Structure 1
Amino acid sequence: MESEKYEGLYGQDEEEKEIEFLKKEIEKYKKKHEASIEDTAKLGKKREEADNLTKKLKERIEKEGNKLMESEDLLRERNQEFQEDINSRWNHNQQLKAKKQGMEETVDYLGKEREKLETVCSSGMERKMVFKGKLSEKISRCGINVKHQIKYTVRGGTALIVFEEPSVAARLIKKRLHRVVVEECYINVRAEPVELTVLDSLNVDMDRSPWKILVSNLPADVPQDKLLDKIELFFSKPSNGGGEVEFREYLADSRSVTLTFTQEGVAPRLVEKRTFNVPFSDRETHQVCVSPSLDGTITGYQMKRLQCNRTVLITGIPDIKDEDTMNDLLEIHFQKESNEGGEVQKLFYCPEGKNAVVVFEDDEDE
């Protein structure tokens, strides 16, 4: 009995120890649980902060991405504009190069033409000029001025009247029909414009002849035949730089002589020297000038219809009076302002049954 009592006491102590141990374990795990809860709360807070930070980063990334896309679009537009500007500048540069090349070709051409003209102009062909006091702002498009002399057929029963003022001619033509008093009766005539076909433009290709020279500045007191003989004799001698002359020609309008040589190279050699002292008599020499002879070929021309500004054609004049009387009657009638006329500079009447030819020249007062 006594042994059972001791065993019971021993078993009770073990149980209490176990209970005490379990309590400590429970307390320990309780503290761990509380710590775990606390850690969980901290982790939750950190997770929330991380989520917020992630959200902010996403928003920032999205915002920066939009900015980057806008920058790329802007860069693309700038690049396109830059490329277009480069293309435009390149095209402009090509145009400038083409213009430059064209101008260089023109300058080269003009330089060659200038050399030709300098050779001609410096050869001694001088003419005395005088200013007559007339000014003009018009400059001819070509280098050659042409003065027209046009033959015009005047048929019978007509008259040409030249007025001092162009406005008078225009007024008569506009009215057209006119009644002229011839003593006791009237005649009905018509005022019509005078239209002429004139040269508007002329294209001439000119080049220096390798065989021919022009000799100018010749003495005025030497007869033509003697002049030709002396010139041919002088320039046919090799000692004077000349050669055999094939053909000679006297140009009366400029009082000069052209010589054509049989050998090529003689003409350029003489032109290069320019001046020569030619003995036209036994006692004295005269300095002549040698220049290249220009051969010209007409390559094209244009004509145009031109109305005379001060001349009127009167038609329908019957042959009822003699020529002088009709001439006076017409001039008296068309001089009166009451008849739409004005100051008559010249009047030419051609009776019926006759024809005449008159010459028109450029109007110096135009």
Structure 2
Amino acid sequence: MMSSDEDYSLISEASELQRIQFETNKCKMAYDSIISDQKMLVEARETNLHFTKQFDQRAATMRAALKAEEKRQEEVLEMDKRKITDLMEEQRRLKSEIQSVQQDILQMEETNYCLKQQSDVSTAVPERKVVFKGQTSGTGDSSGFDIVPKIVYPMEGGTALITFEDETVAQHILKMRDHEVQLEGNITLNVQALPVHLLVPSYVELDTQVCPRRVLVSNLPKVESVERLLDKLEIYFSKKKNGGGEVEEADMLHDSGNVVITFTDNNIAKGLTDKQDHEVKISGEKKHKVKVTPFLNGKIANLQTRETVCQRSVLLSGIPAIMEQDSLQDLLEIHFQKTSNGGGEVDDVIYNPVGQHTLAVFEEDSSTEAQSQ
């Protein structure tokens, strides 16, 4: 029979064995859990490696595609740059053409304006009295005559007309076009040289008839007083003993130096023209032989004009009113007389300031004279 100590020992060993067995089971469960986790980790690692490999493949594909896209974009960008360069060059060319066309339009408008003003002047010619001074032709049924035109050229404000003695100088000035005129006080005046376009008559037909009340008195002496000459002629032709009658008026034709006598009666003129030569006391007691011829009333039936360019004259434009008219006109003449400036001997010069209106009269020898209005 066991004692109580032995029983206690057996119970203790059994308890220890149970504890060990419990711990062993616990460790086994922990081990099984670790093995399970390890298996899951291995599976997760293999999955991650698979995903990583797929990602690397996709990344490589995307890098290749991105590189190809970058190359394509560079090519497109380079092409766009070339297009932009071409467009900018085309824009510069078109802008230059537009400026050139605008300058041509301005010049044409200026020319048309001048031609219109000259045309307005020319169309007024039929209303003026015309005196036949040409030479008749003995051949054919019709007679022709030469005319010496005086062309009225309206000048715009801020312009000047210069006529040179040598036409080659004028053409050289026109070829240079832009000129810098040095004024007083180191002031530079920029002007442009333009050709002078004129409308001149090329063919004129006149319907004429002898005026019954007027006569033309020619072969007159040169006198200092035109008024005295007219008074002497009026006195002579108003006397009946000289074949005259009551004089309505006596007018001097300054372009020819002849005088037109107008009577109140229609029956006086024919008797005076039939006699033709008359001796009139012009100065003192000495008589001077004058010639009396019929006065023709004329109406222009056909007028044809043509455009011509003055060979010796140049129009300067773009002149501001920066000094007195006479002073600036003198400085322009001095500048264009110098051969170092491309000029030459100046025959005449007219300057029309801004805000003023001047008419330049061109005669057959291309010299100019002007009157302000």
Instruction: State the TM-score bracket (shorter-chain normalisation).
Output: 0.3 to 0.5
Q: Which has the higher contact order (CA 8 A, sep 6+)?
A: 1
TM-score by length of 2: 0.44
TM-score by length of 1: 0.45
